[in-house]
Amino acid sequence: MRIDILTIFPEFFSVLDISLVGKARQSGLIELSVHDLRDFTHDRHRTVDDTPYGGGAGMVMKPEPWGEALDAVVDVETTVIFPSPAGERFTQAMARELALAPHLVFGCGRYEGIDQRVIDHTRGRVTVREVSLGDYVLNGGEVAAMAMIEAIGRLVPGMVGNPESLTEESHEDGLLEYPSYTKPSVWRDHEVPPVLLSGNHGKIAAWRHDQQVERTRRVRPDLLESK
Ligand code: JCH
């Protein structure tokens, strides 16, 4: 998979070198390039923003640098993702779907966002998704893009170190995960649930499932409503 990132803060993405995605990059499974949007400006001040039509607070990202940057990286098989607080919600199912794409471009906005014509124009050419990480407001698309790249990158087919548990993880079956424990069996007077030391794999599986259901009912009852 190829990933291109368009941003005015390319240095943000240096952290990807040391994350799980770093391994996928070394193995050649993920080819990641970060592009500075200001390299697609032509004025002395490398301007990327301007005042909003219709008035209001803040600044909006100008369409011209975005048009040129997207022209430079997009081809027919590209999916362009614009992180946005106004997008559809990012989910594990979306991560799975996007992990199968040959080429992703993340358009990371700042200020109050990107001139909407950039998104509409791009949608006329390739697959475009405006995606929200969650119902809270970030200062730009970079942190959202990084979270999505980590969630997608670990699912890319052939990714080494994928545990067998990938299919039974949180949210795949609509339930939260069961709690995990390791040695020592007693720590600061807290015992590991005895069933996990019993060696009875049937009982262990049943207990873990009960824990999943109980935890989901307690902290995420919304996940049970669609079941
Ligand atoms: C972004 C902003 C609109 C502030 C600029 C680009 C994504 N889940 C999620 N939360 N926030 C984002 C996100 C993504 C891209 C950009 N901003 C800042 C945008 C606003 O409207 C009131 C406010 C935020």
* 134 CB near ligand 1 (under 6 Å): yes
How many other CB atoms sit within 10 Å of the CB of residue 75?
11
Question: Which of 137, 139, 148 most suits a substitution to test ligand 1, by most atoms within 8 Å of the C-beta?
Answer: 137
* 113 CB near ligand 1 (under 6 Å): yes
* 135 CB near ligand 1 (under 6 Å): no
Q: Which range, of 53-62, 117-126, 154-163, 175-184, averages the lowest pLDDT? A: 154-163
Arithmetic mean of pLDDT over the chain = 94
pLDDT digits (tens, 9 = 90+) for 117-171: 999 999 999 999 999 999 999 999 999 999 999 999 999 988 866 654 455 455 6
Beta partners for residue 3, in sequence order: 32, 104
**Do 110 and 8 form a contact (C-beta atoms < 8 A)?**
yes
**Do 94 and 151 form a contact (C-beta atoms < 8 A)?**
no
SS3 at position 190? strand
Name the closest-CA residue to atom 21, ligand 1: 112
Q: Which range, of 37-41, 80-84, 153-157, averages the lowest pLDDT? A: 153-157
Q: Tell me if the pTM is above 0.75.
A: yes
